[in-house]
Amino acid sequence: MAEAAAFDFAVGDEAAALTKLAEAVMVDPACFEAWLAKAEVHFALRQFDEALAAGERAAALRPKDIHAHTSLSRIWMERGDKTKAEHHGAQARILGWGDQLKQPEGKQPGEL
């Protein structure tokens, strides 16, 4: 369901995406991907309260996820809270550094 919502969002049908994502989180309230996607769709629509609620839910499900913290940083910046935006931005950077340290020497994250 989250994959179909991602397609709807990619083709510009935000309403269909949000409908599918709402259904996805109703069926599985622990679906991190659906909550994060919901945050991003609401953010794109400039619905920052809804984006924040969904982003915080995603981050609660996966507190060490770079994407969740990046989304929250962007949302807080748009809401005008630079301190919270910087906090989440720093969390994302720290998690990114941790990922880099786990990579074999000479490899970049995502490289085989």
Q: 55-102, pLDDT tens digit by residue? A: 999 999 999 999 999 999 999 999 999 999 999 989 988 888 876 667
Q: Is the pTM of this model over 0.85?
A: no
Extract the tokens encoding 73: 């940083």
Residue 72 CB burial class (10 angstroms; 0-12, 13-18, ≥19): buried
- Which residue reads 């913290």 in tokens? 69
Distance CA 61, CA 30 (A): 7
Using the predicted structure, report yes or no on whether residue 30 has a pLDDT greater than 80: yes
| Domains in the chain, CATH or no CATH each | 2-102 (1.25.40.10)
Residue 22 CB burial class (10 angstroms; 0-12, 13-18, ≥19): middle
